[in-house]
Structure formats: structure tokens, C-alpha cells
Structure 1
């Protein structure tokens, strides 16, 4: 596909010349090409592309005419993977609303911040998360939210939840002009200061990302994927759902990952394309019933979000004979892929995250911002149409995260003489637990709020399933009777469960450099010696 230059968000970037411009254009093209083809599967429910189009149009019309959702309004969703989630993606895109995808594992404090910061006008919630929303509403003010919609049945006593079915009534969509540079979603990522940042994804970014996946992975209308990673992350939303809509493939949705259900569906639904964090592949291969099923249909296995061990890669190659393995690297800020391993590569490149996608421009810079020579390690900077336009209502982050049109990834990397990219380390003490990225300072700030904790430091330590898990070093206040479980419970009540330290070690002092800064490298060395 021909790549040309265009200016978007005040940046001159590479773009695919032939492409749909909005999600609505993309879905319409696919609906016209494959009207009766299976688009979405969830349990016993199956939608064709015509049905997906029709239902999304109805929801869009009702959001606009009944509830006043206009272009630029924010619509928040607290949902597990579901057909309703997919419908809302396209319905919001149709009327130019901005979808705020909330992580269902977050605590009420975190959710309240995101709802208030984004100014979400409407919230759609799953029945199983209503109790969380109830606690949120009892303890926090979320005045911007005017309407609450409920999917499924719940025990709630509140009368102001509308059933989702209201949005599925017959309705006409008003004439609304949506451009490729318009915001599509806001996804919140952990901030280095502990305050989440709302990354603003665009139609332009999503379209270019799915085209890149298609070109490198060679997907087509016969491709079938099983989505177990959350749709509120870019891998599930962009790398799978929207990717399949672009090529006319099929997405089989499961609410959340459960190993036995996953391996059964891969076999029964003739899944061809898998895309997961490495820990899911480890759990699949280790499951006692894994050998009971056949997986002849699988021909493409993608992974990312965390390193994959060479042992796991070797096992996947043995089990899924003939399937291509693709390491992929990206971020919320790059609307998923920045690099992808090609179908053919030498084993000497096994630790690489692949080659840049055709529209990406990458450079490695030193601390002074100067471009590093080939093979030298520095910070990875990324430019392209898939890079977000910025962060929602966060001028400080916008000023510090972008440089000369490039997004500063905060990752230390190198690029070899063949153009393959290698991530060497992470800056700013970020911890990667099974693909969930956690900033240690956020957990440390929470620990410091405990009345009996004097000092705390959090690091990532190796784990054979998740890649890394959290370990907290804690200094208790004098005379305090503080136990490991109490510390964990304190964090659990305030942050998402994946941010809870798996290990808590009590110490009398933390190693510091002459400037007084805690030396986390020393803590990691101490952990290895335990």
C-alpha cells in the first residue's frame, strides 16, 4: 500500500494513501462487501456485518435524539467484553462522541477521577459492576454524568438506571460530520506522578493501526480471532476487534480470560488468530486439558505487552505447527502497534520486538536528545499517524511527552543494522505485570498513606507467569504492629488488584545514594539474594 505524507495534529506524518477515514466509513465498506458474514460472536449470540451496522445505527440515533449526546461529548463504559461494548464503539464513532473506556479492575477512587476528569456525560455499566458504581456514587461526586445505563439485570435499588435496550429501539441518526482527526476514545494510562493520563485516540490513529496489522499479519476475511484481553485496552479494541472489522473477519468475544474456556473456544470456533500477553500462552500450555483439543486452524500468534521466554516460544512452535509468531510492541499512546515481527525472521532476532510498521518513524536519542548511532541504547521516540493527538486536559503531560512531533516512549531501546528494534529496559521504574503497566510511584504514594508506614519503595521482580510482579519494601513506624496481609489489603482497597504487591518485605532502612534518592537497582539486587 502506497505511503505518502500528510499533516495531522501539526505533525507531518506518513499515511496510507488508500484508507477509510473514519470508523463509520470502515464499517460501511465492510458491511457492503460482506453483508451476511459473521462479524461478532458472544456465547449463543451471533451478528452479521449488516446486523452490526443496523444496531450501531440505532444506538447512535438514540444517544443523539433521546439523550442529547453531541459531537465531542464523552460516553464512558464500564464493561466486560461483550457485543454491547462493540456496538457502543461504532455508535459513538457515528455521532462523533468520545468513548471513555474504563478498566473494570479499578477501584472507586480511580474511576471517580476518570469520570470527573473526562467530564463523561453518560455511563454504561455491566450488571456485575453495578455495586462498584453504587459505592462510587455514594462516596464521590460525579456530577457530569447525567445518564446511567445498565446492561443485564442487577439487584440495585436505584431507579435511575435505564435498561440498555432503550438504546436499541429503532431510530434515525442525524447528519453529523465526523473527520479523521476527531477524537475517537480516551484511554487512561498510569501517570508518573500517580495521576492517570487520558490518552486521546483518533479515527486517524485507529484506521492506520488496523491497516498496519493487516499488512504485516496478512489477515483477511477468513480470519477469526478470540478476544479475551479486555476491549478497554488497545490490544483487544484495536489489534483484534477493529482489525477484524477492517478485513471482514470474525471476532469471538469472551467476557474475560478463563483458560479452559479459552482453549475450548479456540478449537470449537476454528480460531485462526491469537493475540495475547505472554502469561496467557503460559497458562494455556500448562493447563491439564490443553492436550484434549486440536488447534489446526491457528495460523497466526501475536503477543506483546511483556517479554516472552524462549522456552514458551519454542513450545508454541511445537504445538501450533505452521503458525507464524509475531512479537508486537506499542502503547495506548500509539493506538497499539509501533513495531511487529514479520512472518519470517532469523532466530537471532528472537528477542526483538520487530520492525517498525510502514507508517512509523522511530529514532533512538540520548539524554541530550541527540540521535544515537545504530545499535546504541537510548530512549525510543515514535512518530506517525497512529500516535495520539495528546492527553485530555493535561498540558503538562502534553509539553513533556512530545518532542518535535515524536512521542517520548520512556523506554530504553536500540535498533540494529537490519532495522529490528529491541527494548532494553524501562525508564521511570515502570513495572510490567502480565501486560498491565504499573508505575511504582503510584503504589508507593498509596502505601505512604497508611498510618503505620514510615517509608516504602516498590520494584518489579521476575515471575515465570506474569513476567514481573510487585514487591514492596516497607519501613514500619516505631512500635507499629504491621503485617504483610494488612499492607496488601490497604492497597487492594484503594487501587486495582493488579497493583497490589505480591510480596511485602519489612526492612529497617532503604538504600539511598548521596543525594538521598532510593537506589532501586540495589533493591533488585537485594531481592535476588533472598
Structure 2
């Protein structure tokens, strides 16, 4: 095997349009024509429906109010009915957006604002205190902050809302002129600076141009054989279908499903019982899931009290589903097609999608390559693997990002001669189905989110009791993996720990709190803290993480870690922090 080319033809992709122009103004031969009134967005809380003409008007109004000064904007908010229109408005102005996880701490948001040099911040009332703290640290003025919604504690109109700005813009004469891109310009003009952990170190800003967004939408449409005529009755996605929008980032839910003529039920924050009610209330047809949600769907007692008969397809991504969970899902929604997909922030986004010729995708498969993708499977010695042999997934395609912002070393490591080195060990068969074997890179996947061990290790080393540290993932049925820290204590701390179990536990608790105080919830040391005599390293000093990862998994199998499944807490708290909104750029 030399290279694997995904089956299917890829239609032309416009390279002179922004993603907003592509979605709102242009027609494409693979875009279905919607012949009956269909809302683009449905507000989960109020059932308000927003159709395409209202969306276009609100996008124009907001852009007209913001004018060209909103050039590089950080969006730090849960889902909102105006979330995507705000993106499209900023793109109409020629701006770039960096989406931030709404669960970030002030320190994490500060890092993103500083790296991207964002000068404007769009947030919501609940996120405002953290947003203000981060903005003050980086010197972002309060006058450059706007809110998605209005809360009871709004500070006397200090911060304008998106709705207010939109209405002002609709009442005002034109304040901006949208520029037409030159041929090829969309390949370079940045739309998004989306954060990913890459292969090592702290999160990195992935440079995603407008062309990548348009290309991946066209790739998904081509995979599903979409066209303007009447949809094939067997087609999985059809105009008028309803999808619940609470995961999978901007591209799959926010752009492809809208492109396909579907309605998005916009859910601000995930609640599993709330999701069940929404499925029943809005007759949802498609469930994009991550493994924690799939586990709850299989095991939560509330499932039996709801009618899920409207669901016709379930796609799971972010991490592999076990065969057991797939079998249980098939019992919960027996009428639905089930499959898995794979994508990366760096590939913007989708690489594989569920098999269309199977009701239940091949066991263990991450789906089939979408048109336009070319793949190499590279073995450890640099040679190319044959069908059925494992190796690193290396790919190229029209949607691959440009690189990492202000990080030439990481860009050279991951983006080489037009190829994206994924860091994932895979097997690809003769049917272009992909099976993820392992992660060559060292990321931990918690509830579908990327956690870079080096980030947590660096933070642990700032604690006065820590001499050395290594963070690995341990299996968890609900979260997929949980971060576990092997810690080498400094002599004084080691002496305290030797006094007895109570003193040792105090140190463990302090280290967990040290991380919890500075990091978002999914980066916390839920897997525990294990004291070690040394962290294994090779002669050049490189950390041998696989040694401790294997040790952790053995301890987990023996029941020595005492890790409680996140599903237990999620059921009690309704899974309130299980997943985040359509902005999330977690790897599929």
C-alpha cells in the first residue's frame, strides 16, 4: 500500500467565499433545496424557531452595528440561538474568531486571549465574571465586551447584548461594505483560531481558513451524496430533519447540518434528562453523541420514561465506543442507524463518517473516509503499512488547517510537506474503513476533550512538594479516560507522607486542589495521585510515559486505584458538565 484515496468524487469547492457567504448567500450543487418552511435554529428553552431569512437579517444587523472594528474576537459562551449568527456577522466584517470553552478558568481564558491577541470578547451573563477577570489581566477594555443574553444582575447596561446590537444595526443605514475575496484568497484568510492540544505541550491555536470550513462541508455532503433534487428515501440526512445541537463543534452541527437543510435544537448546557425531554418534545431525528452521553443513554433510568422513536440515526465521536455500548444502544433505539466518526481540529474537522451501507457500523470502526481525503499509514520505521497493518495516520485533504499560530516548531512537527501527522495509530482496511488502535501522541481524552499531560505536569511541578511528575490516562466507562498523576515528592514532603496514610492523603488532596483551582473540570486529576520513587526516562531524559501508562492500567484492572465512574456523579448532577456546545473543538 502506498496511499489510500477515499472513494467518491469531490465536487468543486469555492475559494473566493468566506464561510458566511458560502452558508448564507451562495448555492452549491451538493446543497439540497428546501421546499417547505424549515427553521434553521430552535431554541430549546423557549421553542422559538428562527428561519433562514431571519438569520440572514440578524447577521446583517449585528455586522452593521459592530462595523469593521470587531476584527479578532474571542467567543466565550455556551450555546445560544445567536451563537452561529454572531460568527457569520463577524466573518461578514472580515474578522477572525477564536472560540473558547465556556468552562475555562480565568487563567485558561487569559492564556487564549494572550496567545491569539484577541481584542474583543463576546460572552454571556453567567460567564461574565471569569471573562472580566481574564480581560483585565490581558488589558482588554470593558468597552470591547458584549453579551449574548441579559441576566437579572446586568450592570446597568454597561455591556450591550447581541440582540440590542442587532436591532440597532437593522435600524441604522449601512455602516460596512462586505469585501469580495479574490480567487484563492479563502485558502489563506483566517476564519477560526480553534484550540487543540496538538501532539505535545499547552493548547495551540489552529489556523483554520474559510476554505477549510467550506471544503469539509462539501466533503460531508459528497459522502452523503446530497444534491438539489428530491432526496433519496434511503438518505440518512434529509431536509427538514431535526438534530440536537450540543456537541461536535462548529463544522458538523453548526455548518453541515444547516447546509443539509436540517433544524438545530440549540441547547445551552447539556443535561441528560433535558436531552431526553428535548428529543421527545421536538421529535429529534439525529443524535450526535460522545461516549459519556452514549453510556448514559444505555444506563440512565430516565430513558425508559421517554419516547425515542423519532431518532433515526446516532453518530458517536471524540473517542471509540466499546462493542458492549453499541449493542446496548441498538436495544435503546432499535430503529436507528448507529455509527462512529473521526475528526481533528487540525483537519477541520471530519475525516471519517459512519458507513451508509450498514445500519450498525463495523464493530470497532471509526467510520469510512470521506471524499477528498488521501491517507498514508506510516509504520514506526517510516515505511508505509499495507491494508490491515497498524501505523500512524498521516493525511491530506482540502480542509486541513494551515498550522499553529505563532508556533513554528509545533507546525513543523505536525504539518509536513502538505501532510497532517495525526499522532493516532490506526488500521485501514480495503473498504476505506478506519480503526483507531492507540494514540501515538500522548493526549488523554476526557469526555471527548483533549487533555495534554505536559500541561498538567508543568502545573504540578509548580507545587512546592513536587520534584517530578508524569500524568497518564486511566480507563473510565463514562469519561473514556481520567487523568492520573504519578508524582515524585521532594524530601520534606516525602517525610511527611511517611508519617502515615492520613498525612499522605493530605498531600494528595492538596495536589488535586492545586490542579482544580487552575484548570477546567475535565483536566482535573479525577484518576487520582500515585506517589512514585522516580519517573522513568530514557538516557536523553525523555519521559517514558508508556511505562507508567501500562502500570496505571494494570493498577486499574486490579482495582488498586479506587476510581469511581463519572457516570455515577453525572446521573446525580444530570451530567451538567458532561459536554459543551457547538463551539467545542474537541477531536471527534
Kept after mapping to 1: 8 A contact 2:337/2:359: no
Mark the CA change 1:511 to 1:113 in structure 2 (over 3 Å): closer, same or farther. Answer: closer
Please show how residues 357-376 of structure 1 align to structure 2 within 5 Å: 357-367=370-380, 369-376=382-389
Shift of 1:29: 4.9
CA deviations on 1:18-75 (whole Å, 9 max, x unpaired) are 769443232235899568421111121321111111101111111216xx23xxx211
Kept after mapping to 1: 8 A contact 2:352/2:367: yes
Please show how residues 264-275 of structure 1 align to structure 2 within 5 Å: 264-275=277-288
Kept after mapping to 2: 8 A contact 1:304/1:327: yes
Where structure 1 has 5 or more consecutive residues not aligned to the other structure, the ranges are 6-13, 230-234
CA distance in 1, matches of 2:200, 2:415: 17
Q: Determine which of 382, 388, 393 is the counterpart of 2:401.
A: 388
- Aligned: 1:507 with 2:532: yes
CA distance in 2, matches of 1:114, 1:137: 11
Mark the CA change 1:180 to 1:516 in structure 2 (over 3 Å): closer, same or farther. Answer: closer
Shift of 1:443: 0.6
Q: Determine which of 328, 333, 336 is the counterpart of 2:341.
A: 328
Equivalence for 1:102: 100
Q: CA RMSD of the aligned region, Å?
A: 2.6
Q: Determine which of 212, 221, 235 is the counterpart of 2:219.
A: 212
CA distance in 1, matches of 2:417, 2:547: 35
CA distance in 1, matches of 2:141, 2:408: 21
Shift of 1:515: 5.0
Please show how residues 13-412 of structure 1 align to structure 2 within 5 Å: 15-17=10-12, 21=17, 22-29=19-26, 36-42=37-43, 43-44=45-46, 45-64=48-67, 68-69=69-70, 73-138=71-136, 140-143=137-140, 147-151=144-148, 152-153=150-151, 155=153, 161-168=159-166, 169=168, 170=170, 171=172, 172=174, 173-178=176-181, 179-181=185-187, 182-217=189-224, 218-229=236-247, 235-345=248-358, 349-367=362-380, 369-412=382-425
Mark the CA change 1:190 to 1:144 in structure 2 (over 3 Å): closer, same or farther. Answer: farther
CA deviations on 1:367-424 (whole Å, 9 max, x unpaired) are 4544222222221111111111222222222222112211111111121233221211
CA distance in 2, matches of 1:272, 1:134: 39
Shift of 1:211: 2.8
TM-score with structure 1 length normalisation? 0.89
Shift of 1:479: 2.5
Higher strand proportion, which one? 1
Count of equivalent residues = 507
CA distance in 2, matches of 1:334, 1:421: 16
Kept after mapping to 1: 8 A contact 2:33/2:261: no
CA deviations on 1:417-466 (whole Å, 9 max, x unpaired) are 33221211112321111211111111111100101111111110111111
CA deviations on 1:248-296 (whole Å, 9 max, x unpaired) are 2100011121110001101111111111111111112222211111112
CA distance in 2, matches of 1:394, 1:145: 29
Kept after mapping to 2: 8 A contact 1:474/1:506: yes
Where structure 2 has 5 or more consecutive residues not aligned to the other structure, the ranges are 225-235, 497-505, 561-588
Mark the CA change 1:81 to 1:28 in structure 2 (over 3 Å): closer, same or farther. Answer: same
CA distance in 1, matches of 2:420, 2:375: 10
CA distance in 2, matches of 1:129, 1:166: 19
